[in-house]
Amino acid sequence: MEQLNAWFTRLLADNEIFTAQTIGYYAHGLANTAQLVLLSLLIGLMLAVPLAIGRSSPRPWLKWPIFLYTYVFRGTPLLIQLYIIYYGVVFVEGIQDTWLWLILEKPFYPALIAFTLNTAAYTTEIFRGAIKATPRGEIEAARAYGMSRAKMLRRIVLPSAFRRALPAYGNEVIFMLHASAIASVVTIMDLTGAARFVYARFYAPFDAFLFVAAIYLCLTFGILYLFRYLEKRLLAHLKPQT
């Protein structure tokens, strides 16, 4: 044990790459990635719920524009969406003179907008599927109780749809975490950005990228277990009875 300890100290002492400074870069990157992912997921979720309700409405003027939005955002690469927003906002007439420019100047916000719109599109489709899969009997029962449409949505359709959407939404969260690596392309110092910096500085691709891959792997497993736990709690009534 002592030998192992001594070996480990020697290993870190000889290490030119993983110093306190570079570890600091990675920590900073982790904070940026977490912020970007959590914020875009949160705002995306808030957008997706009304959009999914609209998307499953029978009115064509409500249904088709939302379909077009999800089709475009799910059918094109996130990188293109990011470029369009990142390069695009600069060229909006007169934006540099307004207060909005103070926010949009930093690459963080265009990236946040692109990620939010992207995840909202995917989440809308996930929820639409879940809403559509509501058993007919539940809706008939709600009608028989004389519930209004709003009340039926709030009390019957949405709660059970959220539960049905949980496994697919877990995948979306992991997808978003992985997609956030793209933020490094527009000079954001996220986890991947930190790895690219360390790579460029030391010309050590294996150290830089394997380390960051391990961090992503841990985050992915964390999310996976969180959603497994949630599914176990919230979907317990759907388990086969023994």
Partner 1 sequence: MIDLQGYGPRLLQGAWVTIELGLLSLLLSIILGLLTATAKMSRSWIAHRLGTLYTTLIRGVPDLVLMMLLFFGGQIGVNMITDWLYYQFDIDIFININEFVAGVVTIGLIFGAYMGETFRGAFLAVDSGQIEAARAYGMSESLMFRRIRFPQMMRHALPGLSNNWMVLLKTTALVSVIGLTDMVRVAEEATKATHEPFTFLIPVAVIYLLIASVSEWGFARLQKRYNVGFGES
Between 165 and 177, name the residue whose CB sits nearer to partner 1: 177
Nearer to partner 1, 159 or 205 (CB): 205
Q: Does 41 bind partner 1 (CB under 8 A)?
A: no
Q: Should residue 88 be labelled a site residue for partner 1 when binding is judged by CB under 8 A?
A: yes
Tell me the C-alpha distance between 38 and 226, whole Å. 14
Residue count at the site for partner 1 (CB under 8 A)? 37
Q: Rounded to the nearest 5°, which phi and psi values hold at 190?
A: -90, -165
135 binds partner 1 (CB under 8 A): no
Do 110 and 85 touch, CB atoms closer than 8 A? yes
Q: In Å, how far are 128, 203, 211 from 31, measured between CA atoms?
A: 32, 24, 16
Could you say which residues in the range 162-191 bind partner 1, by CB under 8 A? Answer: 177-182, 184-185
Q: Which one among 55, 128, 164, 196 touches partner 1, defined by CB under 8 A?
A: 196
The three-state DSSP-derived secondary structure of 218-238 is HHHHHHHHHHHHHHHHHCHHH
Tell me the two tokens of residue 238: 């759907």
- 68 near partner 1 (CB under 8 A): no
Helix (H, G, I), strand (E, B) or coil at 231: helix
Coil, helix or strand at residue 188: coil
Residue from 209, 227, 230, 231 in contact with partner 1 (CB under 8 A): 209
Binding site for partner 1 (CB under 8 A): 71-72, 75-81, 83-84, 87-88, 90-91, 177-182, 184-185, 192, 195-196, 199, 205-206, 209-210, 212-213, 216-217, 220-221
